[in-house]
Amino acid sequence: MNTWILEKEGFSPADAAADGNRFLCANGYLGLRGVPEEAGPALFPAVTLAGVYDQFEEKWREPVNAPHGLRLQLTMNGRALSLEETAPLRHKTMLDYRYGIYHRDTDFGPARILSSRFTSLADPHLMADQYRVEFQKSGLVSLRVGISTDIWDINGPHLFGFRHHAEEILLTEATTGQKGIRVAVAQGMEISPRVEESISVEPDGLYRTLVAEVFPGDIWTLSVYASVYTSLDHPSPAAQARASIQRAMRVGYLELLQAHQAAWDQVWQASEIQLEGDEAAAQALHASQYHLNCIAPRHAGNMSIPARGLSGQTYKGAIFWDSEMFFFPMFVYTQPEVAQSLLRYRIETLPGARKKAAEYGYRGAFYAWESQEGGEEGCTNFNVVDVFTHRPVRTYFRDKQIHISGDIAYALRSYYDITGDRSLLEEGGAEVILECARFYLSRASLHADREEADFADVIGPDEYHERVTNNAYTNQIILHCLQSALALADIFADRPAWFQGLLLQIKYEKDWPLLENICRRLPAPREREGVIEQFDGYFALEDCTLEEVRSRLRDPREYWGGDHGVAGVTQIIKQADVIAMMALFPGLYTDAQVAANWAYYEPRTEHGSSLSACMYALAACRVGRLEEAWQLFQKTAEIDVLGGGKQWAGEIYIGGTHPASNGGAWMIAALGFAGLRMRGGQLTLQPHLPSQVKRLSFPVTAAGRRYRVEVTQEGGTITEI
């Protein structure tokens, strides 16, 4: 088995949504869904742009899909040789994870189409497709190669005022409705042998049509290049896109491919985990690392990654806590510059977080639950649609999921602890931590009649229980945020002038005694027989099985949480909550505590989010439940190989790739199986290798040095390289 290749035989329109995700090509700037070149909107083709958002009328804001510059449609003797219209004799799709190359091989009978395409990692605006047609019958052929404006959107349309320029390089420009962002797509093409062509503007885009009589044995080879720029990248996106195609045509497909491959080689050199002992797991790990690496915003330095990556517009293309808790660990240990980018996004969106806090009547920084550009909150008050009434359901994710600010502070602190680099804190990270701490100060409930301070009316990671008090995870992440704010005084003990200024600005003298006071007064997690109560009153809820709760559903798409959800009145939880806390703060809990809580909560967890399994796996490694850890690892790592995961929340489509699971797979292998940890400036290992794994080997970067970690059943080593 080649663990770098994903292959699929056959074609079914019913699989198109999942395949578009599984065979995704992306480069951090854009994502090209893994559907064949001829695909029309019914097969969900899309070129999703990172960080470009738009709202159409009253629908949800979401990222913009650009016109599709690699659309090719073949017709022979009047018959469309398209998977949507003609059943092929044979069809195979492949994705090469090492280089992010999508291959298809389709035999329609009269002609066979073989193509290879990639979204360049060396030039993130560029996509290239080498498309070859082998004719097996004679006939009249017409091939449309162009820029399709027949765009599939979930909540669109987003682009208006299309302008087409039909020159040797095709160019289409359009403008987003809400903010007037200009999007330009240019396309160029080379074909051998030369074929007569005409260019025309058509209702669905700008096309070049190649027409010729062909005979058995004739072969057409096309290299097609498309480039996308927006006015967020450059004041003249059209000129840039055109120039990029001129350059691509000068150097040619092979040279572009080599540059792209060289860029991927570097990524793998920095991050590849090699797993020996189980080939399917090794493949799933490559898949996970590919899917996370291919959406890293390497081009930007100040962008983060949406919860469904660049696989489409699901989840509004928004940035969640997934970034800090699930994507960040792989990047900080392998490509710290990407980790910096994720955190810089938070630093730069601090004004948005301050605005949100002020709107709710708080001080400091309350980060958006679903953050879009500028830190704007994308989460609506009605974030789920009821399957029975088709009415929006009032949800409280945006109002009450206050752990997001602490999650960001946690990642900023980890960045410093792991890299030893203060620069990000200096750039604004310290201010973010202080502002998050100030938010919690103003959010705490202080009681005159008792010593303890509460955090009431919150939602923890388990979103099925809304508006609870003292969610253990939330309280712990808040405490850590407050402690990190206090620790800044030690980190900057040399008192640089900017730090002094910052303390003055936030009126440190006034707030700090309060902050210390709240740290002292936060209640210790409440326990029963060693099990931490997820929130006040959780143990009093109905204690029934997952199957029982599932049997109460009247529609498989029904939302389990909220006012009328089946889980809310029970102890069944959506995802790791207490266990997430234990996985993220391993030093705070004994093995016996982790074991008791794992045994209690795992059977009560639906794993209804792709963020759940990895946290349970990390804790399972710790307490020696290695068979379970292995199964949870497989579930996490295989999610995008199998095209699995939940597709619906109520009536809302939530399909796409699963970057949190992708990051989770790295976390389980490196932090769980190898037991990698940074303690007091030193990397340490505590291997918990399941019997299925013979050897794990991977590179790590910490404190500015590079290491190789090797783990076998006999033990582990860390060697500087």
Q: Which residues bind ligand BGC (CB under 6 A)?
A: 307, 315, 320-322, 461, 463, 574-575, 609, 611, 660
State in angstroms the smallest separation of the CB of 412 from ligand BGC: 18
**HEC readout, 189-214:** EEEECCCCEEEEEECCEEEEEEEEEE
State in angstroms the smallest separation of the CB of 327 from ligand BGC: 11
State in angstroms the smallest separation of the CB of 279 from ligand BGC: 29
Residue with Cβ nearer ligand BGC (647 or 697): 647
Residue with Cβ nearer ligand BGC (319 or 711): 319
DSSP string, 447-483: -SS-S-EE--SB--S-TTS-SBS--HHHHHHHHHHHH
Residue with Cβ nearer ligand BGC (82 or 662): 662
State in angstroms the smallest separation of the CB of 153 from ligand BGC: 20
Residue with Cβ nearer ligand BGC (148 or 570): 570
Smallest Cα–Cα separation from 34: which of 2, 3, 67, 8? Answer: 8
Buried b (16+ CB within 10 A) or exposed e, 684-699: ebebbbbeebeebebb
Residue with Cβ nearer ligand BGC (417 or 466): 466
- Nearest-angstrom CA–CA distance, 286 and 225: 27
Residue with Cβ nearer ligand BGC (320 or 673): 320
Residue with Cβ nearer ligand BGC (119 or 401): 401
Q: Cα 138 from chain centroid?
A: 47
3-state DSSP assignment of residue 34: coil
Give the helix ranges, DSSP H, for 349-400. Answer: 350-359, 397-400
State in angstroms the smallest separation of the CB of 429 from ligand BGC: 22
Residues near 18 by Cβ (< 8 Å), separated by ≥ 6?
A: 643, 655
State in angstroms the smallest separation of the CB of 229 from ligand BGC: 29
Cβ neighbours of 110 (radius 10 Å): 19
If you count DSSP H runs as helices and E runs as strands, how many of each does the chain have, helices first? 21, 32
State in angstroms the smallest separation of the CB of 575 from ligand BGC: 6
Tokens of residue 347, six digits: 């630093």
**Helix 430-443 crosses helix 403-419 at what angle (to 10 degrees)?**
150
* Cross-strand partners of 413: none
Smallest Cα–Cα separation from 415: which of 483, 344, 467, 470? Answer: 344
* Cross-strand partners of 8: 93
Residue with Cβ nearer ligand BGC (72 or 615): 615
State in angstroms the smallest separation of the CB of 472 from ligand BGC: 16
- Residue of 377, 431, 463, 628 with catalytic role: 463
Tokens of residue 404, six digits: 């997001």
- Nearest-angstrom CA–CA distance, 699 and 335: 10
At position 15, the amino acid (one-letter code) is D
State in angstroms the smallest separation of the CB of 549 from ligand BGC: 17
Tell me how far CA of residue 625 lies from CA of 219, 453, 628, 689, 714, in angstroms.
57, 36, 6, 11, 18
- Catalytic residue flag (residue 463): yes
Residue with Cβ nearer ligand BGC (128 or 318): 318
Please answer whether residues 604 and 571 qualify as being in contact, where contact means their C-beta atoms are separated by less than 8 angstroms: yes
Residues catalogued as catalytic: 463
